Amino acid sequence: MRVAFLVLCFAIAMGTLPPGQVRAQEGIVSNDGDGAIEIEADDGIEWIRDLQQYRAYGNATAKRDGVTIVADTLIAYYREEDGRQVIFRLDAEGSVVITSDGSEASGDKAVYHMDKKVAVLVGEDLQLVTDRGTITAEESLEYWEERRIAVARGDALVIQNERRLKAGVLTAFITDDEKTGSARVTRIDATGGVHISTPTDIVTGKEGVYMVDEEKATLCGGVKITRDNNQLNGTCAVVNMTTGRSTLTGGGESGKVKGLILPTQ
């Protein structure tokens, strides 16, 4: 699944602002000539010199390289380096919406630490909507740029049509598509109790791995497959997320699979 949140504040990364380049309601634009940042706001932009901050109020918008961040308030923190103001952190507060490449992430607050290259989105109703599905989480959505991973924490859920993958934590591994060059998710690790539902089966286990290209998920640790009133228990199971079919392997020390199959009425 492509995850546009992964470029959450990429758009702002490594941006610089020359001293004095602030015009309330006209925007802030860096002049580095490559992927300039533009910040606009309905209610004005404030330069707080003592705190080394820029604050944009009222439908504040930051744009760069095809990524747009909209929030009630945007706060850019900077430090002085060689006569330039280098932004090292960007906060977006209140009704945050991040859009890029047809995808949209939303929450109450987003923070991007540019030195660490880590972005975190938190708040109520955390959600990422892409053309291939939806990801929700109760605690946070994170992007670790250098590690090329995205993390959804707290009852994290991936929804694709009638299929759902839920876990305490979902970690997505990102690579660049060889043909298009765009970032894409190739694998999702699920930990903290895993629950998969398809139109026919419900599969649970302690942990799992979802290979996106193959559309197959492998769960291990006290696995249970439930279909109607029937249940199978084993060590691991492979779930075909396309067909919805599940295959159980191994159970306990004997390595046998156990099942309870009830007669139909």
Name all domains of the chain by residue range, CATH numbers in brackets: 1-125 (no CATH), 147-260 (2.60.450.10)
d(CA 65, CA 63): 7
Strand boundaries in 35-162, DSSP class E? 38-40, 45-48, 53-64, 67-81, 84-100, 103-113, 118-122, 126-130, 133-137, 140-144, 149-160
Strands 216-227 and 202-205 turn out to be antiparallel
Tens-digit pLDDT profile for residues 196-211: 999 889 999 999 999 9
* Residue 130 pLDDT: 80
pLDDT higher than threshold 70 for residue 228: yes
For 197, the enclosing helix (H) or strand (E) is strand 183-197
d(CA 194, CA 108): 27
**Residue for token digits 């740029």?**
145
Confidence of residue 83 (pLDDT cuts 50, 70, 90): confident
Average pLDDT value over all residues in the chain: 80
* Coil, helix or strand at residue 162: coil
For 173, the enclosing helix (H) or strand (E) is strand 163-176
Burial of 138 from C-beta contacts in 10 A (0-12 / 13-18 / 19+) = middle
* Coil, helix or strand at residue 209: strand
Contacts of 169 (CB under 8 A, 6+ apart): 151, 152, 153, 154, 156, 190, 191, 192
Amino acid at 47: W
Amino acid at 99: T
Tens-digit pLDDT profile for residues 45-65: 999 999 999 999 999 998 877
pLDDT higher than threshold 80 for residue 180: no
Residue 190 CA from chain centroid, whole number: 14
* Coil, helix or strand at residue 228: coil
Confidence of residue 24 (pLDDT cuts 50, 70, 90): very low
pLDDT higher than threshold 50 for residue 26: no
